[in-house]
Structure 1
Amino acid sequence: MPLTMNSQNILGKWKTIDDKTGKAKSTVDIYEKNGEIFGKIIEIYDSSKRDLLCDTCEGNEYNKPVLGLVIIKNLTQDGEYFENGTIFDPESGKTYKCRLSIDEDNPNKLMVRGYIAFFYATQYWERIES
């Protein structure tokens, strides 16, 4: 399914916010490739973490730099949501089913929801640019 004009709002650079501290952690660039949505870490704000390697990653991503890591993979559009893909947390090493959508009250906030079975956690990321 081709991306609609409204869905273009999801593409661009987003500031990730730590849900425990409320502090900005990184910038993720959300982009479209072959009709699917991906997100790559392109900036890490804490200078002590910029050179960390992903020791929680598996396969060919193991021990690769966290900076540059594609953490959102293979999302497809289903109405107002982008889902049916995954999001990876390099700190915990966990991969979650993922759903993204623009906050209906604020087009500069992205709702990022990760699921394991019936449980989920939600973060809100802030738009840097589209």
Structure 2
Amino acid sequence: MKKYILFSILIWAFGANLNAQEGIFGKWRCTNHDGKVNSIVRIYQKDDGEVCGKVVRILKEEDRDKICTECEGDLKNKPIEGLQLMHGLQKDGNEYSGGEIINPKSGKIYKVKIWVDEDQPDKLNVRGYVAFFFKTMTWDRAD
């Protein structure tokens, strides 16, 4: 019985450690200003170390075919589902910063930094900012 309890504790600790090691990487449920989940974004690292984020799923089926009409350049008229909306992030201590994020609805580009909440490792803080003004959103880890 003692071996079973010890084994259970080790499995639980290993699982908690794996979740902590995931850090920012993985899939995140993105919420709108009303708190409603509208998409899933995958945060990943490229071979050169750059960290990016890509919309992997729009939850409302009727919105899945929407395109980024307000975007400029290479992103103009690209489907939002599949869009790389975040790029250029580099590790800076416990945060990733130095990148940009685009709002597909407005086409506006913001500087961005992201970090996992210290007390809640399944919460990702995403801060978009221009000069001194910023807004921080909290995304939840998706399974």
TM-score by length of 2: 0.83
Does the residue aligned with 2:69 lie in a helix, a strand or coil? coil
Structure having the higher helix fraction is 2
Are 1:112 and 2:126 an aligned pair? yes
Is 2:93 aligned against 1:86? no
1:85-125 C-alpha deviation (Å, 9 max, x unpaired):
00110011111000100011100000000011100001000
> 2:42 and 2:53 mapped to 1: Cα distance?
5
Cα displacement (A) at 1:56: 1.0
Instruction: Select 1:15's aligned residue among 29, 35, 42.
Output: 29
Structure (1 or 2) with the greater strand fraction? 1
- For 2:27, give the aligned amino acid: K
List runs of 5+ in structure 2 lacking aligned partners: 1-17
Q: Runs (4+) of structure 1 moved beyond 3 Å?
A: 5-8
Taking only aligned residues, the RMSD between alpha carbons, in angstroms, comes to 1.4
- Considering Cα pairs closer than 8 Å and 6+ residues apart, tell me whether 1 or 2 has the greater RCO: 1
Residue deviations 1:32-84, cap 9 Å, x none? 00101000000001122110011011112111101100001010000011000
Structure with greater Cα Rg:
2
Q: How many residues align?
A: 124
Q: Write the distance in 1 (CA, Å) between the matches of 2:74 and 2:84.
A: 12
Match of 2:55 in 1: 41
Q: Which amino acid aligns with 2:41?
A: V
User: Sequence identity of aligned pairs in percent?
Assistant: 44
- Give me the TM-score of the superposition, normalised by structure 1: 0.91
| Partner Cα separation in structure 2 for residue 111 and residue 92 of structure 1 | 21
